[in-house]
Each structure stands twice: as C-alpha cells, then as structure tokens.
Structure 1
Amino acid sequence: MPTLYYHHSAGLNHLTAPGHPERPDRLRAIAQGLAHEKFDSLVRHEAPMADLDVVALCHSNEYIDELRHIAPKEGMIYLDGDTSMSPGTLEAALRATGGAIAAVDAVMTNTKTNAFVGTRPPGHHAESSKPMGFCFFDSVAVAARYAQRKYGIQRAAIVDFDVHHGNGSQEIFWADPSVMYASTHQMPLFPGTGSTQERGEDDTIVNAPLHAGNGSREFREAFNLAILPRLEAFAPELIVISAGFDAHWRDPLGGLELREEDYTWVTRKLMEIADTSAQGRIVSVLEGGYDLEGLRDSVAVHVAALMNN
C-alpha cells in the first residue's frame, strides 16, 4: 500500500509567542523522524492551498472572511488566550486544510492508498464559526465533507486520539448521521467537552473519555469496547484520523501515559476496519503533540504502521 505524506514549509511561518507549545519546531521534529531510510518509499507531496469554497463546506463564509480580514501584515494578534495569528498563519492554515483535501483526492482515486498530513496549525478545536485551542480551520471535518460532496461516499468517520477532545469536529457534525465522530481524550481537560452523554442527534458521536494517569490498558480498552465496534458497525467508506500525539507520556499538556506502541496498535486497528469497509482509505491529519521527542517518535511509528512497515 503506497503511503503519501503531505507537508509544506509554510507551516514554519505560523509563528507563536516564545514558550508557546504549538511551535514551528514541531514540524522540524517530524521531518527528523521521517528522514530515516525506512521512510525512503514514502511518497512526499507539498500541501496545496485549500480553496476557500471547500473550507466553506464546514465554516461560515463570514468566519472565513473575518479571519482573512484580521490576519496581520506584521506582528501578532491574539484571538483568545491560546490562539494567535502572525503574518504567516493564514497560509499555513490553508495549506494544512489543503493537504487534507489533496490527501482525500489521492486516496479516493487510488486503490489501497492512505496518507499522513504533517502540517500545522492543528484544526479539531475550530468550530464552524469560532477559532480556539490553536486551531483555525477544522481540516479533518473539511476532508470528510469534501469526500462526501466530491466522491459521493455515504458514510465518513473521524477518529480522534488527541489528548484533547475535538469539540469543533463534534459541533460541525452534531446533527449529521452521515459522519461518525469518535474520540478518546483526557477529562477533565481543555476544552471541557467530550462526555459519554454527548452522542449527537443521531447517536453518531462516540466519546470515550480517559483520566489522568491512564495508559495503554485503558486506552486500548476504550477503543476495543466503545469505539471499534461502533466504527465497524458504521462501516465508513473513508476514515479520517485526528492524529494528535499529546496523549504520549512525555507530553507537557496532558496527563495520559501512552507509548509509541499504542499508536502503532491503534493505527493498525483502524487500518483493519478501513480494509473491511473503505478499501483501505485513510487520511491521517496531525493535531497535537508538544514534546518534540515524543512527537517525533510517535509520528514515525504511526506512519510506519500506515506503510505496513
């Protein structure tokens, strides 16, 4: 199975304040991890800019126009206490979403292909009309909806194993039975959403919260009991992964204790379901992961699993 890797140097130009965890060095760490010779067969592409009409599949035109209007020509502006824009932010965000869209095109038109989109800023906290939590455009949500609109698939699934709950993805698809959103995440933790009672209007939201100190056993149990059976029954024709690696034991923003082998395990489990119902089609998009060593090593094992290495 050929695995594609979408990236772009524009992600380095989205600048954040000194000491901010969502920093350009994250992309440098990923590049270091994927420089090993075992990734020589990884098919690498530069992420294109997303078309604004496609971004508008999940975000209001007013919101998109406002972000374009307030994007600074110099310096930095804060949209909330965590989320800031520099002159390079808008292009980075549009390329992050554009990479996810291009990955959908690739996996929908090539047999047994999957992709990893290693871009920043992340996206799963961005709601239809609100930036938050370092996020501007919800790339995984746009990717899922784009796949439905362009390729006519009936069921898409978003699976999120970031340590933080993807409130944006949940909000966007709350009342949509054609998109399943499933998440493991730490609670209590930012953004405060993601209880098991939050199930969506059509019971297609599956939240499996974990607690600080939980590790491999609890994470795998949550997937085996709460998420994988529901995902299998839903039979998605495309799986989009919100691939956050901040549940790693080294990460400073979370309190979970995952190891690299947990990311290998969950990637392979999702590939098994994709092989059953989605012709192997997976688009994985980087979300969190703020310890550089933990991020480097976790992305490496995740991509190696996608490559069947």
Structure 2
Amino acid sequence: MKTVLITHPDCLDHVTPPGHPEQVARMDAVAQALQDMDLNRVTAPMAAEDDVLRVHPRSHLEALRRAAPAEGWVSLDADTHMSPGTLAAIWRGVGGAVRAVDMVLGGDAQNAFVAMRPPGHHAEKTTPMGFCFFGNVAIAAKHALDHHGLGRVAIVDFDVHHGNGTQDLVEDDPRILFCSTHQSPLYPGTGRADETGVADNVINVPLAEGTDGAGFRRAMNDHVLPRLRDFKPELILVSAGFDAHAADPLAGLELVEDDFAWITAQLCDLADAFCAGRVVSCLEGGYDLTALGASAAAHVKVLRERCDG
C-alpha cells in the first residue's frame, strides 16, 4: 500500500500579486521534489458544500463568491488576495483533504499527503486571513468525526505561524485535540500557552525566535507527544507547514529537513500505536522554494516508508 498524494492543477490558478510569498512556484517546488517518489497519485475533487458548512457559515461562502474577481486581484486584507482561479483552488483544497480522510479511513491508504494551495490554517469561521480562505484541516477533522463516526481526532500543526483559524474552528469540540508549535511573537499574535479550549483540548507551545531543531524536539517531547498518547486519537491530521525551516524568509526558527522527518516519524509511531497508522497531512506554509521542496520530500519520504513497514 502506497502513500496517497492528492493534488490538482487548479491550485496553480490561484495567482497572487507579484512578490507575494504564497506563489504558484511553491507548488512547482513541491511537485518537483516528489516527482520521482513511488506514490499513489489522486486528483483532488471539488468539496461538497456540506463539508465546508461543518465549520464555516453559509455567509462566509457567499462572501467569498461575491468577492471573486473576473480578472486581476481582489485584496481581502493586506496579505490575502483572490484571483479568478481562487475559488476553484480553495474548493479543491477542501475536497483533497476530505478525499484523503475517506481513503485512509476506508482502508484504501494508510496515509496521505495533500499538496494543495493556498493554505488553510489561518482561516477563521467568517474571516479569511493570512493567505487562507477555508479551514481545510479543521473541515477534514469534522468530516472524520461526523461522517465516519470517529470519537477522537488529533491535529498537529508544526507551521511556524500559529494556526489561529484551526483553533477557532475546533476549540469548542472536545472530540478534537489541537496541538501547535509556533514562533512567538509572530503573526498572527495568537497561540498563547494559556489558550486551552473547552476541554483542555488545545495545546499551544510558543517557541522563541532562534529555536533550533533540538529545542523543537524538546518541545514536542515535553508537551505535544505526551498529550497525544493520553488522547489516543483514532486519526492524526497534520498541518504540515515548512516555514519553520532556517532558510524561510518569513520567520526565525532554525529547523532543517531532518527535524521535519523526525516529527513525521514520531507522529507515525503514535498512529501505529493508536490508529492503525492512519495519518493525513495537508500542506500549509513554506516560502523558501528550495527548503520547501526538500522539507516536503523529507516528510513524504517518511510517510512512504511507513507504508512498507
């Protein structure tokens, strides 16, 4: 059984203004890094509206549809822009995440990587922000719970920026454990350790600028991995942001590819122990193209190896 790679060329039609870090070339870098891997390649479908409505109100969907331009760009805030291809890209981003959950929980794959853009973990219930429009991973978690009948789903977010949107969408649901390591202070200014959710189901681990791989691993070992073991998830979802890499231009952590491989292996170990190896990972940030490609390859290589083990 191979790792499933889910993507779609529609994600290339979400075009940002010149100089924007969340650019089409990000997906080219990931695709090139993964092109020689032996993966089960699957096309991301359009999401069903009911899946998006699990976490976003209809007013949010309609506001995005009204804002979508026929040409050029529309700026929803200083960082978040829509082009004519944005709607298709974001609907396929959700569709890819949901398809990955269906395949993993249906026994068609042990794990999956959803290589789509734009990212999703900053999108709050009614607020697109931080390059993000829909909460892809939060939607995938709710789908696993409500459609597949799971009782416990964990989300691990190692993007350098706090996943404020994911937290906003899941912190009131005790069936979901949300764990985030992130640089602080840094955009979006959320993710304090005392933000704990309705049932102690939010674990935020702020990291100081300059934290290296050893510090990241200590934080995971001390705070995140023990909570995951106690929670005993039936599925692990990953917000795989690679902008904590030392080369990334938007932040100041000092991780390298081996650190992303290490945390992937740790999460796979937990998945083997509690949820039959079931892991679904979705691409979030990562803005140095060389580092992004190499880090994504290191991450997916571990997922692929676990399918052979």
TM-score, with length taken from structure 2: 0.98
CA contact (8 A) 2:71 2:83 kept: yes
Query: Which residue of the partner structure matches residue 181 of structure 2?
Result: 184
Residue 112 (structure 1) shift: 6.0
Residue 201 (structure 1) shift: 1.6
Q: 1:186 to 1:247 in 2, by over 3 A?
A: same
Kindly indicate whether residue 21 of structure 2 is the aligned counterpart of residue 3 of structure 1: no
2:249 to 238, 247, 252: 252
In 2, distance between residues paired with 1:110 and 1:174?
Answer: 29
Kindly indicate whether residue 220 of structure 2 is the aligned counterpart of residue 223 of structure 1: yes
SS of the aligned residue for 1:308 comes to helix
SS of the aligned residue for 2:127 comes to coil
CA contact (8 A) 1:116 1:283 kept: yes
CA contact (8 A) 2:211 2:254 kept: yes
* Equivalent AA in structure 2 for residue 68 of structure 1: R
Query: Which residue of the partner structure matches residue 301 of structure 1?
Result: 298
Mapping of 1:144-223 within 5 angstroms? 144-223=141-220
Query: Which residue of the partner structure matches residue 79 of structure 1?
Result: 76
Kindly indicate whether residue 268 of structure 2 is the aligned counterpart of residue 271 of structure 1: yes
CA contact (8 A) 2:128 2:134 kept: yes
CA contact (8 A) 1:159 1:239 kept: yes
Query: Which residue of the partner structure matches residue 234 of structure 1?
Result: 231
SS of the aligned residue for 2:147 comes to helix
Point out where structure 1 has 5 or more consecutive residues left out of the alignment.
none
Kindly indicate whether residue 18 of structure 2 is the aligned counterpart of residue 58 of structure 1: no
In 2, distance between residues paired with 1:86 and 1:58?
Answer: 24
SS of the aligned residue for 1:307 comes to helix
In 1, distance between residues paired with 2:254 and 2:262?
Answer: 15
Residue 158 (structure 1) shift: 0.5
SS of the aligned residue for 1:254 comes to coil
% identity of equivalent residues? 52
Residue 229 (structure 1) shift: 0.2
SS of the aligned residue for 1:21 comes to coil
In 2, distance between residues paired with 1:304 and 1:206?
Answer: 27
Residue 299 (structure 1) shift: 0.3
Query: Which residue of the partner structure matches residue 12 of structure 2?
Result: 12
Q: 1:28 to 1:112 in 2, by over 3 A?
A: closer
In 2, distance between residues paired with 1:144 and 1:218?
Answer: 28
Kindly indicate whether residue 139 of structure 2 is the aligned counterpart of residue 142 of structure 1: yes
Alignment deviations for residues 118-176 of structure 1 (CA, whole Å, 9 cap, x no partner): 00000000011110000000100000000111110000011000000000111111221
In 1, distance between residues paired with 2:142 and 2:236?
Answer: 12
* Equivalent AA in structure 1 for residue 50 of structure 2: D
Alignment deviations for residues 221-251 of structure 1 (CA, whole Å, 9 cap, x no partner): 0100000000110011011100000000000
CA contact (8 A) 1:112 1:280 kept: no
Residue 53 (structure 1) shift: 1.2
CA contact (8 A) 1:112 1:279 kept: no
* Equivalent AA in structure 1 for residue 239 of structure 2: S
In 2, distance between residues paired with 1:35 and 1:150?
Answer: 32
Query: Which residue of the partner structure matches residue 29 of structure 2?
Result: 29
1:108 to 105, 108, 132: 105
CA contact (8 A) 2:3 2:109 kept: no
The ranges of structure 1 where at least 4 consecutive aligned residues each deviate by more than 3 angstroms after the TM superposition are none
TM-score, with length taken from structure 1: 0.98
SS of the aligned residue for 2:46 comes to coil
CA contact (8 A) 2:22 2:287 kept: yes
In 1, distance between residues paired with 2:68 and 2:2?
Answer: 37
Residue 68 (structure 1) shift: 1.1
SS of the aligned residue for 2:291 comes to helix
1:89 to 86, 90, 107: 86
In 1, distance between residues paired with 2:72 and 2:304?
Answer: 41
In 2, distance between residues paired with 1:244 and 1:58?
Answer: 21
In 2, distance between residues paired with 1:128 and 1:282?
Answer: 25
